[in-house]
Amino acid sequence: MRHLILGRAQSSHIQFFRYFFVGGTAAVVDLVVYTTLLKLLGIPYLVAAFIGYMIGLAWNHYLCVLWVFQSKHSRSKEVTMVIAIAIGGLIWTELILYGLVEWGGSDEIVAKIISQILVLLWNFGMRKMYVFH
């Protein structure tokens, strides 16, 4: 149990467990920002999704560097790759959200949660394959 929490994570299973936890906290940050902007400030859902995603991304990246992955690259190359993956995740988020709300008639909050779950898989896989080991 100790290896799940302390030290560097070497196995993909432990990395995914940690990434799932970090991603969960980032998803909460993202969802709170999104909901606040959407419901309390009346900002359109796609704009609120962009802002929430970016704040959650910053939280996620910071914790991933500290606790989940070890970088294989220089810091500048790592950041460039994370930004590229994040743009892909943002595009997926916006497309899924738009599709669920506009075409599927889903509630904006429910659609956001569904998009977060799907984009989690994209972000982990891409970071694991290309940025970290």
| Per-residue pLDDT tens over the stretch 21-31 | 888 899 999 99
In this structure, is residue 5 part of a structural domain? no
Query: 132 forms bridges with which residues in the sheet?
Result: 71
Q: What would the pLDDT profile of 85-121 be if each residue is shown by its tens digit?
A: 989 999 999 999 999 999 999 999 999 999 999 998 8
Give the gyration radius of the chain's Cα atoms.
Answer: 15
* Model confidence, pTM: 0.80
Is residue 92 in some structural domain? yes
pLDDT value at 2 more than 60:
no
Answer whether residue 57 is part of any domain. Answer: yes
- Other beta carbons less than 10 A from residue 16's beta carbon: 16
In the chain, the number of structural domains is 1
Give the domain range for residue 124: 10-131
Structure tokens at 23: 């991603």
Residue 95 lies in a domain: yes
Residue 85 domain-assigned?
yes
CB 29 within 8 A of CB 56: yes
Q: For a pLDDT cut of 90, what percent of the chain falls above it?
A: 50
CA distance 51 to 55: 6
Q: Is the pLDDT of residue 35 over 90?
A: yes
